[in-house]
Amino acid sequence: MKIFTAENIRKADQHTIENEPVSSVNLMERAAQSCADWIHSNCKNHTRFAIFCGNGNNGGDGFAIARILYLKGFDVDVFIDKTNSKFSDDALINLKRLKDISGISVHDFTETDKFNFEKTILIDALFGTGLTRNLEGIHRDLIEKLNLKNNPKIAVDIPSGMFPDQLNGEDDVIFKADFTLTFQFWKKSFLHPETGIFAGKVVVLDINLSKEFTDETETDDFVIDDDVIFKIFKPREDFAHKGTYGKSIIVGGSYGKMGAAVLATKSALRTGSGLTFVLAPNCGYEILQTSCTEAMFIEGGEKIINKIDYQENSVYGIGPGLGTEMETEKALLKFLETFQNPLVLDADALNLISKDENHLKLITKNSIITPHPKEFERLFGKTENSMERLNLAKTKAKELEIIIVLKDHHTQVVTPNGEVFYNITGNSGLAKGGSGDILTGILISLLAQKYSSKEAAILGVWLHGKAADFAAEKYSKEAMQPTDVIDEIGNVFLELNKKATIKL
């Protein structure tokens, strides 16, 4: 799915109005109907709603939602700024329609303090994507009061106070929603931790904006959705053999850190690697041979890795549990000086490379690196926030001609040509040691199976997150373990293959 700026979303609206054709107020009705239908289906335990409406088109959405919900049998109260009588044309039309219904009370914002909001869902329809300034005055005070209430909260299109295309300042006031019902497209600010926390669970509602406009309008920002995945995923061929699906070599492990190599190996095997080898120190031999019986062992030292042998026609993934000893550093750099193919670098491999910025030049083109924020900082320098970090990653991906997987709540895959793919699978249950090692194994396996680096990174982060979602459903985010995520990879492939067959 493409991510558009607020300006391009406005253009999509206008193109739809002019070419469908549909009037702007009827397009607003379509958006309001989609919100009301979702609320009707998902808010079964509540019958009362308080809808806070601004004077622009977001407020117009709110007025229309209030009318539709009332006609569906809900109790609805609407709050506006009665001191400001200037409304957008479409908002005014919907306000008049609302006032024609005697059962809906319209209150002033100042009445919020005295109103009984018990068992009431609060709906924010104050400001939409056109907001270009921080909330002030009566609106800032109102949002601060609403945020203090424990009622369930829903934002229409975007939480009021949030900018759609950039991060807010630390002191900005933003409506803190449990759910955001947004129209047609994700907003970029939903996908960064500093602002995404205010959006809650994002629900993208299809309001049938022009497909022609969407297809023809270019962007560098995307969400990894099912359409993206099905363009990448290759169902396994019937007339295939182990050589068809490549040779993966996982380089990792050191005394006391063999678990990381085990996790990477198990995930590579579960993801479909044809032949899987582990290059590790001898201290991990028995651990690896007993825990990963399908994999083969290559000796790379005694307690640490001090040599990395090259094998032809192999995909290498280096880093899980590697350690940062000087001998390991020498072995890694010597290998990178001669190795010419794309590979995966993670964890301690990145920490060793970060010791000298000249080491970055040794990373082969089209390789995949998977830094978490601190590893990224060691590699490329400090940034003030996640948006700055992303922009720096775009610069470095282009400069080094590599794929950078920025690990975060919504992990970003950054390509050398400036594209950014945000992953929306996964959950906070992955915030445990070992989760990154699993991703490394998945990526190595996909590269070995002849996916391109870009395809492997996109499919890999999605698969990793989807397996984690399945694990969280079974065990909870708190209790799920990295090994549970590996066990769920097979179920993700079952679902993928089933849908791929249906698509045929």
DSSP class per residue in 447-502:
HHTT--HHHHHHHHHHHHHHHHHHHHHHH-TTT--HHHHHHHHHHHHHHHHHHHHH
Q: Work out the pLDDT band at 502, boundaries 50, 70, 90.
A: low
pLDDT single digits (tens) 40-93 = 999 988 889 999 999 999 999 999 999 999 999 999 999 999 999 899 999 999
In this prediction the pTM is 0.95
Give the span between the Cα atoms of 464 and 461, in whole angstroms: 5
Calculate the dihedral angle through the C-alpha atoms of 438, 270, 364, 259, rounding to the nearest 10 degrees. Answer: 40
Q: Which of 79, 84, 168, 92 is nearest to 124 (CA)?
A: 79
State the angle between helix axes of 24-42 and 89-99 in degrees (0 to 180), rounded to the nearest 10: 50
Q: What is the DSSP letter of 118?
A: T
**Do 6-219 and 240-468 fold alike per CATH?**
no
How far lies 238's CA from each of 6, 241, 242, 424, 501, in Å?
A: 46, 9, 12, 31, 14
Give the span between the Cα atoms of 330 and 319, in whole angstroms: 14
Calculate the dihedral angle through the C-alpha atoms of 350, 355, 357, 359, rounding to the nearest 10 degrees. Answer: -60
pLDDT single digits (tens) 331-365 = 999 999 999 999 999 999 999 999 999 999 999 99
How far lies 485's CA from each of 163, 253, 336, 472, in Å?
A: 35, 20, 31, 9
pLDDT single digits (tens) 115-131 = 999 999 999 999 999 88
Give the span between the Cα atoms of 159 and 424, in whole angstroms: 19
Segment 190-207 shows an average pLDDT of: 97
Please tell me the number of Cα atoms within 13 Å of 323 on its side-chain side.
20
SS3 397: helix
Calculate the dihedral angle through the C-alpha atoms of 89, 92, 93, 94, rounding to the nearest 10 degrees. Answer: 130
Please tell me the number of Cα atoms within 13 Å of 286 on its side-chain side.
2
pLDDT single digits (tens) 394-405 = 999 999 999 999
What are 173's two structure tokens? 């006031």
pLDDT single digits (tens) 428-460 = 999 999 999 999 999 999 999 999 999 999 999
Whole-number average pLDDT of the chain: 96
What are 19's two structure tokens? 């070419």
Amino acid residing at 335:
F
Q: What is the DSSP letter of 167?
A: P
Q: Which CATH architecture has domain 240-468?
A: 3-Layer(aba) Sandwich (3.40)
Superfamily for 6-219?
A: YjeF N-terminal domain (3.40.50.10260)
Segment 87-104 shows an average pLDDT of: 94
Q: Which of 402, 403, 396, 423 is nearest to 411 (CA)?
A: 423
Domain boundaries of the chain, sorted by first residue: 6-219, 240-468
Calculate the dihedral angle through the C-alpha atoms of 438, 308, 294, 289, rounding to the nearest 10 degrees. Answer: -100
Instruction: Report the pLDDT value the prediction gives residue 504, as an integer from 0 to 100.
Output: 45
